[in-house]
Structure 1
Amino acid sequence: MRALTPAEVLFDGEVQPAVLPPCDHYAGSEKLMKKSLALQAQLGPVFDITLDCEDGAQIGREAAHAELVASFIGGEEDRFGRVGVRIHDFANPSWRDDVRIILRHARKAPAYITLPKIRSVFDAAEMVAFVEASRCEAGIQKPIPCHLLIETHGALAEVFELAALPGVEALSFGLMDFVSAHNGAIPDTAMRSPGQFDHPLVRRAKLEIAAACHAHGKVPSHNVSTEVRDMSVVANDAARARNEFGYTRMWSIHPDQIVPIVAAFAPRADEIELAADILLAAQAAQWGPTRHGDTLHDRASYRYYWSVLRRAQAIGQTVPESARALFASDESPGGS
């Protein structure tokens, strides 16, 4: 009898939760786009690059900026296919043109399209549907995942419905706009650490977004750290986002932030080894209950340890050779 893999037995026929590289790095100008692509070529696909049409484009030059963004997607510098784009928001008349220009002029489809300042499920659904229709019109074979930015009161109020939308792969928290939307009721200290983790309204928003994502198998992406000199602050922000709030991904706005973010979200070597041992024993037992040391395990803990291996593989960490066959049927975004 063929040994069944985790993907085949642990999710009761449901699609596995999405796994993405743990860092989402934003670049808005041509210079920063080139620098980011060069760094990705050096470090490998351990982080995604989001080319920014929203904040990167000058007023009146939106179409030209979208063409610039398109020129980098699928080009020689895009070695790993992990380059996405953020378009303008629903209230801006340029968002549809952003989508059309990028899908028509890029050499291949972007890894994802980020939709900012979502205010309702209606807005998000219309934008996702337009991306899908434009994808079909452009003759692009595979659907393009959408990432939603949760930074308004309306989006937070409907965050579980937003996470449930087909075509949505990730939800990102837009801390700065969220705090500003409270018109001074939340102090500016909540825009940076440690205040961003302490203010009750901000904590609530972070937790609601993470919970909605995990309920629907989507990726929760934590907001940016505004610290660009002391990387220990960035590393601590990333660790708190992961360990206290359940995030599996985080923004970066400075190249120096990428490595500490990736390191904070990466499983430790001993975690990877433990996960491999437990899952291989489970596979040998046809996924029935097993014992590792003094601890009993069943399918609930197997799902946890499978997530450890999938996250490790997504950023190119070393997985024991004996455990590599476990990925035979894994077709997740960050999988094999």
Structure 2
Amino acid sequence: MPTSPPSAADLKQRWNAVQDNPPDVQPRTAAARMGASEAELVATGCGEHVTRLRGGWRGLLRRLHTLGPVMARTRNDAAVHEKTGVYRDVEFTDPHGLGLVLEDNIDLRLFMDHWHLGFAVETPPNGERDGGRRSLQFFDRDGTAVHKVFLTGESDRDAYDALVDAYRHDDQSPEQSVTPVEADTAETPDADIDVEGFLHAWGELEDTHDFFPLLSEHDVSREQALRLGEGRFTRRVPDTALRHTLRAAAEQETPIMVFVGSPGCLQIHTGPVQTLKATPPWYNVRDPDFRLRLNEERIDQAWVVRKPTTDGRVTSLELMGADGDVIARLFGERKSGQSERADWRSILEALPSTP
């Protein structure tokens, strides 16, 4: 017999019990264990330390620069990407609902069709080791987090309070309804794909940004593309490739780009990585303005991927989960019009192939 979803009161009681008993558990993890979404769990604090926001996310995002330096966090089930900086140059394109943030440190691609719920959260002191934090948290219609913005010691708290007041929702009840997101359609069987046509078009690419439209045009999933391109454009490497790549980049002082995405946001780090630490199952970058946590146990496949461009070949390391979703992608630091760094290419070429 199917069970009823937990009530807001039940969620709140169970969440309070979790926070009162260390070790700390992240809301995303706690919600999953309780059979609820993270947005539903966060909403149980409405009327106390949480404020539901009314929407108008584009206007809100354009005002984030008033907060000064903040920490931006985007994550998926296996990777957490954090950057500290200022939200400058926020732009949107219509009618596709795409947004861009192009500050040196805060570099985001926003997919606004997945921004449906928002909350201002003041974490109770017993829920964080640092004594509590203020944040803005945004979620998809199914309650999955798409992006979060945390105040730092240098942020303007008065500007934060003004922003929360301006976007406060009339409804501050602890109940939050969510709607399942439509599942992706089934992968097209290999036998129904014009593989040679697809690979020929891959070889004609002029920009890495053209790869996603190429997948759509040929009705090929990303995981399927990596497999079909093996030996020509891709090479399977061990799941440990992440730590070997980051170690080599740190030792050789090779600046890189690290992409981590949620359904509604792609967050990018560009620059060096320096301080690395393994805390199994997580492998971490712990630099002042960039932090990465990646669960190595969640890596199902790792691939070295080559794409032709007008600037020459561009090589990346792509990490995939068992569900076929991208966990993270790593490139050498590069701007349009520049060829790929030789030291980055050498790092990936040194990775052994998986039989």
* TM-score bucket of the superposed structures, by smaller chain: under 0.3
TM-score by length of 2: 0.23
User: Which structure features the higher share of strand residues?
Assistant: 2
User: Which structure features the higher share of helix residues?
Assistant: 1
Larger Rg: 2
TM-score by length of 1: 0.24
